[in-house]
Structures are given as C-alpha cells and as structure tokens.
Amino acid sequence: MVNRFKERLKSNRGNAILIMGLAIFGLILLMAIFFVDVSKNIYISNNYTQMAQRATQTALKQQNSIGGLTPQAATAVINEYLEEREPKTKCASTDGSGNTVACQTVETKAFRTLCAKKYPNYPEIEVSFSTARDNKGKTSSNDNFGVTLSYKNGSIPEFSDAQKRLFYRNQYKTIRVKVKDYGDNYFFSMFGRECEVYNIQTSAIAMDATAGDTGK
C-alpha cells in the first residue's frame, strides 16, 4: 500500500514537471514568434522610411529660379518612391548629397507577397506643400499644407491650373510626404493578423542658395 502510494506520488510529480516544461516551452515559442515579426516590422518600416526620405530629397531638385518648389516636385517624389519599390530601369538612386545608394526593393519586396492581393492599390502617397517654417528652417505639426497631390490606385494625378498658379504665387519651400505601404506577417497571421500597414511621414525644406537644402 505504501509502495503504491510512493509510486503514484512520483508519477504525479513527473507529470507536473512534464506539464510545466511544456508550458515553459510554449511560452518561449510564443515569445520567439512575437519578436520575429516585431523585428521584421521594424526592419521593413525603416526601409520604407529611407525610401520615402530619398524620394523627398529628390523633390528638392525641382525648384524655380528663386528657390520655390515647382509642381513637378510632387511627381518626382512619387516616381522616385515607385522606382525604388519596383525598379524598372535602375537599381540604385542618389541621396540629397548626390551619393549613390542601393535601392531597398530587394529588402522589402520579399515581404510583400502574401498580402499583394489584399492591397493591390498600394502604396498610397500624399505629397503636400507649404510656405511655413520656423527661423531654424524646420517644419512643425501646425504647418498649413494647403496644396496636396495624392497617388492612389496606381495612377499619378496632375495639379489643376488653379493649384499650379498657387505654386508661383506662394513660392512653397516645405514639402511633406506621407506614404502608406504594406508588408506580410508570418507568425501573427496565425492570430488573424496577416498583413501589416506602415504609415510613413517625412518632410524637407528647400532653402535658398546661401543655405543649401535640408530634409528629415
């Protein structure tokens, strides 16, 4: 009787240890799954941000004779971002200083396969212009970006004649770019979150000839 009780006690302890071990293993696995997708999302977000920043810097080249941004700056932003995302004629671009940098397409395209059918009209790109900046050449969240061009559904629109006249009348110096793009989730998809949408924002200032160009 005593021996049978001891054997059952050992068996119960063994089962408890086994259950605890499985629980710890499951917890570690869930944490690993979480960190893999979170790290991937941070990586993709950083790449999209760099692409948007380079596209914004490209727009600064589109200035009139007195340093104001032209309507072509919006088209330059859109074309540069799309070119880096899905290059057709090149696989490298230049930064604001004219240095050649590799496109980020390889790093991001691999993460845009599973959700391509869900977001066929992405990316969405909004390019806005303003005259506002402080005495340090920086933009603020309160700036009034009154002229905007939006790229959606795969087509690049054009400014109206009235909007084009505003460029020459106001001499816009500040450009803000908002990009909405997507990426796949692998492990999060098991919990119903198959895709990740990234909201990127960057801006730049077209300075005069004595100050040079700057962006952020």
CA-derived radius of gyration, the chain: 26
Tally of CB atoms within 10 A around 16 = 10
Is the Cβ–Cβ distance between 77 and 202 less than 8 Å?
A: no
17-to-14, 28, 31, 45 alpha-carbon distances in Å: 5, 16, 21, 42
Task: Write out the residue range of the structural domain in which residue 123 sits.
Answer: 2-215
At 48-76, the pLDDT tens digits run 999 999 999 998 998 888 888 989 999 99
The number of distinct structural domains making up the chain is 1
- The pLDDT, as a whole number, for residue 198 is 94
> Three-state DSSP class for 178?
strand
At 143-169, the pLDDT tens digits run 566 788 889 888 888 888 888 888 888
Distance in angstroms (rounded) separating the CA atoms of residues 205 and 137: 7
At 5-32, the pLDDT tens digits run 445 545 555 566 767 777 777 777 777 7
Q: Which two tokens stand for residue 34?
A: 């979480």
Residues in the chain, overall count: 216
